[in-house]
Amino acid sequence: MFEYAPAPESRSVVEIKNASGLYIGGEFVDPADGGSFKSINPASEEVLAEVAEAGAQDVERAVRAARKAYDKVWGPMPGRDRAKYLYRIARLIQERSRELAVLESLDNGKPIRESRDVDLPLVAAHFFYYAGWADKLGHAGFGPNPQPVGVAAQVIPWNFPLLMLAWKIAPALAAGNTVVLKPAETTPLTALLFAEICQQAELPAGVVNILTGAGDTGRALVEHPGVDKVAFTGSTEVGRAIARSIAGTRKKLTLELGGKAANIVFDDAPIDQAVEGIVNGIFFNQGHVCCAGSRLLVQENVADRVLESLKRRMAQLRVGDPLDKNTDVGAINSAAQLERIRELSDAGSAEGAERWSPPCDLPDRGFWFAPTIFTGVTQAHRIAREEIFGPVLSVLTFRTPAEAVEKANNTPYGLSAGIWTDKGSRILWMADRLRAGVVWANTFNKFDPTSPFGGYKESGYGREGGRHGLEGYLNV
Ligand code: NAP
Ligand code: MG
């Protein structure tokens, strides 16, 4: 393998503000009763900023600001005018995309190639797409005059900080709701920059409120009685706790939770293409992807060939500095997540699966985990059942399509699946039988704002994206 010279993206496009405060009612304010915490760069452990932590009084203030904006400005505003603000936000995101991408990579650890070429274009696309719906809600299939729900409390995880924000805020605003959003504790910085963009777009005060903080802030927000709708993306465990806490209230709820997707490769698949899809499926974003193809199901008669190509391809992956434009796999988002990946991987070895990683030099500082595969995995192994949420692939084999379906569905989750075959009729046959919200055929991890995304079973309920994504934000 040949060596590349380092090609780091410049950080000078970003000015990181220390202690910028909470974004409530259109202004950055100091927390009334919260404290503060630090957000670090997981690739270097450098402290990037001290961030305000919202307490109960701040939640109260933010919900009140959102209610006022809903009653006085945003609720009564004609859809065509709401659309103008959303288009303006979308354009500002495009204009400032380099700044946003660099900040996302710094705070999250994901490769700049991904934040620049995947996250940011999709973030802008979501705002453009939902801007288009704002004056056409009566044509979305929810009756002639569907009404917004009111104030939405939105809590998001750290794996796609800005993209998850866009998935939440764009449809909510298009449908006429106002929002209070809590980003994840380890990745609050792009949400704060987004708040500046809301100011720049002259979005009316209180339509978007951003409360930085940890799990307690999230809990106080979703439990606040002034909230009409809760939208949560995160772990199944926290999703369950939220569903319990708001049961019996009038609040509407959508949950986007974990996954354990099967990526299924048949013997007639174009193997080189499938190997690219396997790599993209599990090593994209360090495997911190709810719909990651974390279980490879490969047909037994091609398993050796697929694994040989896969290992050769994995040896080419460049792990390291997220800001380097040649980096394929960046840093693990936090020490806690690294610990969880290590623990589950050790369990894989202890339970008898065979572990393999390509030789790779990991940086001394920061949180890193080499791309890893486990072969000889059985369905009873923890690495085949539990979500690892890291760059770790479990490989299982199958003989017949029926066996592939049975193994793929043998999971408490049901978010996504991939099928690799030359045969169109088999794709349809499989897709009918797979219990997964999204099924990709001869591709993986493809996203588009027009396409609904969401789960079955313990992967949650409700859909984000597309016309369906409006439903959770409308009284229908
Ligand atoms: P998490 O612990 O559930 O956290 C998600 C968010 O909820 C964070 O903002 C978190 O704050 C907050 N939170 C924690 N406890 C809370 C509580 N009791 N009440 C309200 N909010 C609370 O999940 P994570 O570990 O950060 O994210 C990984 C998980 O998200 C994975 O399981 C993954 O599959 C899932 N995910 C699903 C999708 C999807 O669309 N289906 C997309 C991305 C991720 P802190 O950050 O401060 O803990
Ligand atoms: Mg961080």
Q: Of 256, 387, 458, 471, which one is the catalytic site residue?
A: 256
| Rounded Cα–Cα distance for residues 210 and 226 (Å) | 16
pLDDT at 187: 98
- In 3D, which of 64, 90, 86 has the Cα closest to residue 77? 86
pTM, whole model, 2 decimals? 0.97
pLDDT at 454: 95
Residue 289 CB–ligand 1 contact under 6 Å: no
Question: Which of the ligands is closest to the CA of residue 47?
Answer: 2
Q: How far is the CA of 256 from the centre of ligand 1 (A)?
A: 9
Query: Is the distance from CB of 319 to CB of 360 less than 8 angstroms?
Result: yes
Q: Mind spelling out the 3-state secondary structure of 403-447?
A: HHHHHHHCCCCCCEEEEECCCHHHHHHHHHHCCCCEEEECCCCCC
Alpha helices in 293-423 (DSSP H): 303-314, 335-350, 382-385, 401-409
Q: How far is the CA of 300 from the centre of ligand 1 (A)?
A: 36
pLDDT at 476: 85
Sequential pLDDT tens for the chain (476 residues)? 567 899 999 999 999 988 789 999 999 999 998 799 999 999 999 999 999 999 999 999 999 999 999 999 999 999 999 999 999 999 999 999 999 999 999 999 999 999 999 999 999 999 999 999 999 999 999 999 999 999 999 999 999 999 999 999 999 999 999 999 999 999 999 999 999 999 999 999 999 999 999 999 999 999 999 999 999 999 999 999 999 999 999 999 999 999 999 999 999 999 999 999 999 999 999 999 999 999 999 999 999 999 999 999 999 999 999 999 999 999 999 999 999 999 999 999 999 999 999 998 999 999 999 999 999 999 999 999 999 999 999 999 999 999 999 999 999 999 999 999 999 999 999 999 999 999 999 999 999 999 999 999 999 999 999 999 999 999 98
Residues 6+ apart with CB under 8 A from 427: 419, 421, 441, 442
Classify domain 12-257+456-475 at the CATH topology level: Aldehyde Dehydrogenase; Chain A, domain 1 (3.40.605)
Question: Which of the ligands is closest to the CA of residue 161?
Answer: 1
pLDDT at 429: 98
Mutate to test the pocket of ligand 1, among 119, 260, 290 (most ligand atoms within 8 A of CB): 290
Architecture per CATH, 262-441: 3-Layer(aba) Sandwich (3.40)
Residue 185 CB–ligand 1 contact under 6 Å: yes
Q: How far is the CA of 49 from the centre of ligand 2 (A)?
A: 9
Tell me the two tokens of residue 370. Answer: 């080499």
Query: Is the distance from CB of 74 to CB of 41 less than 8 angstroms?
Result: no
pLDDT at 143: 93
Q: What are phi and psi of 212, to 5 degrees?
A: -80, 150
| Rounded Cα–Cα distance for residues 230 and 179 (Å) | 10
Question: Which of the ligands is closest to the CA of residue 337?
Answer: 1
| Rounded Cα–Cα distance for residues 431 and 304 (Å) | 26
Mutate to test the pocket of ligand 1, among 108, 110, 235 (most ligand atoms within 8 A of CB): 235
Residue 458 CB–ligand 1 contact under 6 Å: no
Return the DSSP state at 364: S
pLDDT at 468: 96
Domain with CATH 3.40.309.10 in the chain: 262-441
Tell me the two tokens of residue 310. Answer: 């896969």
pLDDT at 4: 80
Domain with CATH 3.40.605.10 in the chain: 12-257+456-475
Tell me the two tokens of residue 161. Answer: 């900080």
- In 3D, which of 451, 446, 447 has the Cα closest to residue 469? 451
Q: How far is the CA of 473 from the centre of ligand 1 (A)?
A: 20
Whether 95 is catalytic: no
Mutate to test the pocket of ligand 1, among 107, 126, 159 (most ligand atoms within 8 A of CB): 159
